[in-house]
Every structure is written in structure tokens, then in C-alpha cells.
């Protein structure tokens, strides 16, 4: 192994075993392992992240030139890795990443770790304890080494219906109730979906959209890190997530192209899928929808750095990122009695999407309250971030301090909301069967469809939209004032259950598609 006295710990890379996990011993030296090394962006003051987004959207080519990895720094990492017997699988200067493959023994030598196999009630995984280590000469340029630990990183945020509802809706009916115009279809816009498992079938898509009287949209699967469109066919699990995302986006923005980026459910796969979508010069997505996530505490700081750099890049090239806020209420599924928020919905560079229960009468909204069906039925995520400070554009909406004892201020989650309750859920088709599904996983693609309509109307990508949404709170959102998600209650104005509220789409499109000179784009710091 490399002399660890010359190795520097990589900040934020420390790992501890999952609670209840048991080591079954050292990984066999010849076991193949794959990692992605993320490097820092090239210094460019003009493209530095700002608290108050401003500046023009730039092309992906310009972003690569001005903010991609320094070729010399990437070359040094490559030389170091190959010198220890690792193979370069992918070299991406624009995305600042180097994907490496090699035997476990070489990975241990390169990154100063001991790889072990752990058994856990939810399955076995490869991992390490402590920090990743690098030679001092490389430590300053590397921000993350992901993939040495391959535990599942994220959860789906859909909820299947478990009781017979009084009513369910198609995504077309939900969009119409919120006021989506029939004159727009998202034509010419690419919407990216990030999926960490599961898949879709063309037969299901044809049956679903034909049943709605709509054209079958163009849907393309994009492989990342060996991920693929792999439906299980059992009608549950990640297939339902994938189908829900595609069907909601395709129903709301039927003219849009949908690109589905499939990656393994690891920190490496998640980060690489985001980077692949943001830096895709072939499809150039203007909207990115993410329906996967997990408690902030489940991510390493190095993984968050890689994610946040991707979100900054997204805003700079005009890609708007929408993320589901979670389905387990204010605890976010953590069994410690504390309040938690879901990441990446808590990133201050994305639109966090919370959930409501929607009741329609003759197609019009009769009532709308916070989605909370109790511990077993799910509830919208939301709360106050323990990772990110309060951004300036939330400064005047009354984000409370954290509900935890001694809790402080932080970024409030979510930003917006929409129908998510399975008991007022969405009619979808999954693995050959029609079913009803809810969850905030439906809200992220719902808003992604609305943003696609706004991009079509504006004739340009919109980038980071949160400041515009907050400035238009009174006119573009329907305030939700009834209900709670556990630790937080709804009330007048922004709240940690439904954010600004549910959309008044016509007004929201007016705000988002306003002339570029009167709007702002860009990124905020992570």
C-alpha cells in the first residue's frame, strides 16, 4: 500500500458503517472496483456562485472552457492512478470527473483505504471506515472520490395507494386544475429524469398515452456508469418511480422530449447521472427532474460538494432542477426523534417540491391541504436544513428555526407544492397494469412539465428560478394553510410543509417566461 505518511485525508470523505451493519472481512484483492474522481472547477471569478443569482446563461461549450477541470490537474490524477494499475474508463474535462476501474488492491493503494464487505438487513455493500487519502500534491485539486463505498444512496419518493380512494386523477386533470394552458406542449424542450434503478417499456407508454388521447412522447434511455433501462416487471419498486416520472412529464408537456438517465443507486451513480445530464451537449436538457433522495445526514460532505458543483453548472447553462422533498414527513424517515430534511431537495440551487392532498369538483379545486396520511401512509417532507444556510431570497418569508432542540436557522424546504397524496393520486400504468400512485415523486415531474411549458413560451432556457418564484408568491401560488407534516404546520405565506403553495400556472408562466432583461438566472452557493 502507498505510504500513508505521505497521504493527506480528503476533507468530507469519512465514512462509517450503516447502523446495524457487520463487516464480513476484507474485500478480495482482485475484486473489480470502479470510482469517479471529481476535481475542482477551473478558477473563473465571472462564474463564481452568487447568493443573489445574476448574469447571462452561457452555452455548455463555454461552461466547459471556463469552468471545466484544469487539464494539468486532471492529467496529474490520471498519471497517478494509472501508475498504480488503475484503468481510465471515462475522462470528462467539462464535468471535471475521471472514472477509474481496477482491482480492490490497487484502489486501496491509490486512496489509502481498506475495503471491506458489510452485511446489512437491506443487503450487503462494499465500504470503508475513515477518510479517503491522497498524495499531498493532488489533495488540493480533488474534491471527491465516489464509489469506494457502494451502499444505496437514495430512496424513491413515490407512494403506492394502499386503500381504495374516493377519487384519483390523471396528470392531465391535475395540470388543468392548476391552470396549465392547452396552447403549450413543451415542444422543442428536453426534460431530463434521473433514475437510480428500474425501467420502462414502450408498450406501457403507448397504452398510457393513447388512453389519454395524447401522442406518445419521445423517450430516450441514457446509460450512466453501466446503468440501463431495466424494468423488473413486478409492478412495484423503481419501475413505478420511472413510469410515474415519464408519464407525468409526458402528460403535462406532451411535446417535450424525455431523456431518462439511468445510473446505479450509489453516491457515485447519483452524482455521475446529474453530471451527465447537466453536461449533455447532445440533448441539452433545459429541465432536470429528480425524484430520489435521502436525509441530509446520509451524504458525505464530499458527495454534497460534487452535487452542488453540478447544480451550479446547471444554473449557468440554464437547466432548471426540480427535486422531490420526500414522503416521510418532518422526520424524513430517520428514527431518532429529530426533524430532518431530504437532500438534494434541500440544496439552495434547486426547486424543492412538497406535497398536498387535492380535491377537485367538476375539474376545479375544491380544497387543498398538506399531505399527511400518518406514519404508514406517508406525508410531505419539509423543514429546515442543517447543512445549508438561509439564502437571501428566502430571507423575508419567515422560515422558522429548526424544530429540533437548540435548532438554528437554515434553508427552508420545500419551495413549492402540488398534489402528492396517494388518496388523491395519479392514474399511471406500470408493468402492464393500471394503478394509482402518489408521493412527492409526482410533484417534481409535474413542475418539470410546467417549466418546460415556460421554456417553450420564452424560447430560451430559464436556469435557476427560485428568486422569481419567491418574488411572485402572491400572484403565482395558491397558499396552503391547513395541515402539518409532523414538526411543522402550514399557515399563511411560506411554510415548511408546502413552501409557497401550489401553482397558479398561467401566472407562474408569465413570471418565468418574462423577457430576459427583467429576470435573473444563475446559481446560489451550496
- Indicate the angle between helix axes 301-316 and 267-278, nearest 10 degrees: 10
3-class state of residue 231 by DSSP: coil
Told to judge if 87 belongs to the known catalytic residues of this protein, a careful annotator would answer no
How many whole angstroms separate alpha carbon 143 and alpha carbon 136? 13
C-alpha cell, 371: 399531505
Nearest to 151 by CA among 324, 292, 17, 306: 17
- Find how far residue 203's CA is from the centre of its chain: 27
Catalytic residue among 149, 241, 272, 427: 241
Told to judge if 241 belongs to the known catalytic residues of this protein, a careful annotator would answer yes
Residue 256: C-alpha distances to residues 63, 216, 283, 429 (Å): 24, 10, 12, 20
Q: Give me the sign of the Cα torsion angle 457, 460, 466, 470.
A: negative
CB-based burial of residue 213 (10 Å sphere; 0-12 exposed, 13-18 middle, 19+ buried)? Answer: exposed
3-class state of residue 193 by DSSP: strand
3-class state of residue 303 by DSSP: helix
Query: CA angle, 342 as apex, 230 and 164 as ends, to 5°?
Result: 65
Catalytic residue among 105, 298, 441, 519: 441
Cβ pair 217, 254 in contact under 8 A: yes
Query: CA angle, 304 as apex, 301 and 308 as ends, to 5°?
Result: 140
How many whole angstroms separate alpha carbon 89 and alpha carbon 466? 37
Told to judge if 479 belongs to the known catalytic residues of this protein, a careful annotator would answer no
Catalytic residue among 173, 204, 245, 495: 245
- Indicate the angle between helix axes 443-458 and 238-252, nearest 10 degrees: 30
How many whole angstroms separate alpha carbon 15 and alpha carbon 386? 19
Q: What are phi and psi of 151, to 5 degrees?
A: -65, 150
**Catalytically active residues, by annotation:** 241, 245, 441
Amino acid at each position: 500500500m502507498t505510504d500513508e505518511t505521505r497521504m493527506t485525508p480528503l476533507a468530507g470523505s469519512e465514512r462509517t458503517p450503516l447502523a446495524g451493519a457487520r463487516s464480513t472481512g476484507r474485500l478480495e484483492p482482485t475484486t473489480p472496483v470502479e470510482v469517479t474522481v471529481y476535481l475542482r472547477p477551473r478558477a473563473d471569478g465571472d462564474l463564481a456562485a452568487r447568493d443573489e443569482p445574476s448574469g447571462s446563461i452561457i452555452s455548455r461549450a463555454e461552461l466547459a472552457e471556463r469552468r471545466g477541470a484544469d487539464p494539468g490537474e486532471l492529467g496529474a490524477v490520471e498519471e497517478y492512478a494509472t501508475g498504480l494499475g488503475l484503468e481510465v474508463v471515462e475522462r470528462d474535462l467539462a464535468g471535471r470527473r475521471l472514472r477509474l476501474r481496477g482491482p480492490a488492491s490497487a484502489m486501496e493503494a491509490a486512496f489509502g483505504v481498506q475495503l471491506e464487505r458489510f452485511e446489512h438487513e437491506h443487503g450487503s455493500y462494499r465500504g470503508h471506515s475513515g477518510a479517503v487519502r491522497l498524495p499531498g500534491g493532488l489533495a488540493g485539486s480533488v474534491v471527491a472520490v465516489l464509489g469506494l463505498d457502494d451502499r444505496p444512496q437514495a430512496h424513491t419518493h413515490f407512494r403506492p395507494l394502499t386503500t381504495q380512494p374516493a377519487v384519483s386523477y390523471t396528470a392531465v386533470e391535475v395540470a388543468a386544475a392548476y391552470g396549465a394552458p392547452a396552447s403549450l406542449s413543451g415542444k422543442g424542450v428536453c426534460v431530463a429524469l434521473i433514475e437510480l434503478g428500474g425501467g420502462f417499456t414502450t408498450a406501457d407508454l403507448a397504452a398510457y398515452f393513447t388512453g389519454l388521447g395524447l401522442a406518445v412522447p419521445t423517450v430516450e434511455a441514457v446509460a450512466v456508469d453501466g446503468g440501463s433501462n431495466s424494468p423488473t416487471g413486478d409492478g412495484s419498486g423503481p419501475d413505478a418511480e420511472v413510469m410515474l416520472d415519464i408519464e407525468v412529464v409526458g402528460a403535462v408537456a406532451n411535446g417535450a422530449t424525455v431523456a431518462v438517465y439511468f445510473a446505479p443507486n450509489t453516491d457515485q451513480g447519483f452524482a455521475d447521472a446529474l453530471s451527465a445530464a447537466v453536461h449533455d451537449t447532445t440533448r441539452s436538457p433545459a429541465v432536470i427532474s429528480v425524484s430520489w433522495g435521502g436525509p441530509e445526514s446520509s451524504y458525505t460532505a464530499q458527495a454534497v460538494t460534487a452535487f452542488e458543483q453540478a447544480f451550479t453548472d446547471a444554473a449557468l447553462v440554464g437547466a432548471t432542477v426540480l427535486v422531490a422533498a420526500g414522503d416521510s414527513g418532518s422526520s424524513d424517515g430517520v428514527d431518532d426523534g429529530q426533524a430532518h430534511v431530504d437532500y438534494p431537495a434541500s440544496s439552495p440551487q434547486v426547486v424543492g417540491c412538497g406535497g398536498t392532498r387535492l380535491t377537485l369538483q367538476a375539474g376545479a379545486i375544491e380544497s387543498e391541504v398538506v399531505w399527511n396520511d400518518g406514519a404508514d401512509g406517508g406525508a410531505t417532507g419539509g423543514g429546515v436544513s442543517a447543512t445549508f444556510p438561509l439564502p437571501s431570497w428566502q430571507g423575508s418569508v419567515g422560515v422558522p428555526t429548526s424544530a429540533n432542540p437548540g435548532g438554528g436557522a437554515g434553508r427552508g424546504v420545500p419551495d413549492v407544492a402540488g398534489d402528492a397524496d396517494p388518496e388523491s393520486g395519479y392514474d399511471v400504468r406500470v408493468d402492464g397494469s393500471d394503478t394509482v400512485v402518489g408521493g412527492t415523486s409526482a410533484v417534481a415531474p409535474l413542475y418539470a412539465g410546467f417549466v418546460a411549458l415556460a421554456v417553450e413560451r420564452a424560447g430560451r432556457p430559464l436556469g435557476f428560478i427560485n428568486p422569481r418564484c419567491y418574488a411572485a408568491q402572491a400572484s403565482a401560488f395558491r397558499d396552503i394553510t391547513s395541515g402539518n407534516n409532523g414538526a411543522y404546520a402550514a399557515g399563511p405565506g411560506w411554510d415548511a410543509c408546502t413552501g409557497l403553495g401550489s401553482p397558479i400556472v398561467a401566472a407562474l408562466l408569465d413570471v418565468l417566461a418574462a423577457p430576459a432583461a427583467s429576470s435573473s438566472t444563475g446559481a446560489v452557493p451550496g
